[in-house]
Chain A
Amino acid sequence: MSRTETGARKGASPRPKNKLARANDRVLILMALPAVLIYAFFYLYPTINNLRYSLTNWDGFKEAEFIGISNFERMNNDGVFTKTLGNNIEFTLLVVIFQTALSLLFAIFLLKNSRTTTFLRTLYFFPTIISSVSVAMVWQFLYEPNLGPLNVFLNSIGLDFLALNWLGSETVTLRAIAFTQVWFHTGQMMVVYIAGLQQIPAELYEAAEVDGASRWQQFKSVTWPMALPTTAVVMAYTTIQSFRAFDLVFAMTGGGPNNSSSILVTMIYLTAFNEFRFGYAAAQSIFLIIFILALTALQRRILRTKY
Chain B
Amino acid sequence: MFYKISRIFALSTFAVLIIIPTLVVVLGSFKGDLELMTKPLALPESWSLDNYRELFNNGEIGRNFRNSSIVTLFSVLITLFISSLASFGIARMINVTGKVLFILFSLGLAIPAATSIIGIYELFVRFSLTNTLYGLVVINVASTLPISIFILTAFFRQIPHELFESASMDGARPFRLYRSIALPLSRPSMAAVAIFLFVITWNDLLYPLLLITQADLKTLPLALLDYRGEYAINFSMIFTAVMVASLPMVVMYLSMQKTFVSGLTAGAVKG
Contacts and interface: CB of A to CB of B under 8 A. Distances in A.
B161 interface: yes
Contacts of B104: 36, 39-40, 44
A240 interface: yes
Given A134-B242, A247-B206, A282-B118, A123 B19 contact: yes
Interface stretch (A72-80, A103-111, A169-177, A203-211): A103-111
Contacts of B252: 129
Interface in A135-165: 137-139, 141-142, 147, 149
B55 to A, nearest CB: 14
B179 to A, nearest CB: 11
Contacts, number: 280
Contacts of A96: none
Given A39-B146, A246-B112, A125 B261 contact: yes
Given A4-B161, A24-B173, A142-B21, A195 B269 contact: yes
Contacts of B7: 109
B269 A233 contact: yes
Contacts of B269: 192, 195, 233
Interface stretch (B45-53, B94-102, B185-193): B94-102
Contacts of A278: 118, 122
B146 A123 contact: no
A213 interface: no
A38 B261 contact: no
Interface string B194-236: 0000010011111001100000000011001100100000010
A292 B111 CA distance: 7
B111 A131 contact: no
Nearest to A233: B269
Contacts of A128: 199, 264
Contacts of B173: 24, 27
Interface in B16-54: 17-22, 24-25, 37-38, 40-41
A106 B18 CA distance: 14
B89 interface: yes
Contacts of A123: 15, 18-19
B206 A44 contact: no
B15 A133 contact: no
B246 to A, nearest CB: 5
Contacts of A41: 142
Given A31-B85, A49-B122, A129-B260, A268 B246 contact: no
A145 to B, nearest CB: 12
B130 to A, nearest CB: 12
Interface string A19-41: 00100110111111111101111
Contacts of A21: 94
A279 to B, nearest CB: 9
A124 interface: yes
Contact of A38 (B11, B138, B164, B199): B138
B3 to A, nearest CB: 6
Given A123-B18, A131-B203, A251-B225, A39 B118 contact: no
Nearest to B109: A240
Given A1-B165, A131-B246, A43 B142 contact: yes
B89 A39 contact: no
Given A31-B85, A31-B174, A131-B202, A46 B122 contact: yes
Interface in A262-289: 264-266, 268-269, 272-273, 278, 281-282, 285-286, 288-289
A202 interface: no
B85 A35 contact: yes
A43 B174 contact: no
Contact of B14 (A40, A106, A139, A268): A106
A268 B108 contact: no
Contacts of A124: 14-15, 18
B117 interface: yes
A53 interface: yes
Q: Which of B10, B19, B115, B143 has the most CB of A within 10 A?
A: B115
A142 B209 CA distance: 25
A227 to B, nearest CB: 14
A246 B206 contact: yes
27 contacts: A1-B164, A5-B161, A28-B92, A39-B142, A40-B104, A47-B115, A50-B115, A123-B15, A123-B18, A129-B199, A129-B250, A131-B203, A131-B246, A137-B224, A137-B228, A137-B235, A138-B21, A188-B264, A189-B268, A244-B113, A251-B225, A265-B115, A282-B118, A285-B115, A285-B116, A288-B114, A289-B111
Interface of B: 3, 7, 10-11, 14-15, 17-22, 24-25, 37-38, 40-41, 82-83, 85-86, 88-90, 92-95, 97-98, 101, 104-105, 107-108, 110-123, 138-139, 141-143, 145-146, 149, 161, 164-165, 168, 173-175, 178, 199, 202-206, 209-210, 220-221, 224-225, 228, 235, 238-239, 242, 245-246, 249-250, 252-253, 257, 260-261, 264-265, 268-269, 271
Given A40-B104, A120-B15, 20 more contacts: A2-B165, A4-B165, A25-B94, A28-B92, A35-B105, A39-B146, A41-B142, A44-B104, A47-B111, A120-B11, A125-B261, A131-B246, A132-B203, A133-B225, A134-B203, A147-B37, A183-B17, A192-B268, A246-B112, A247-B206
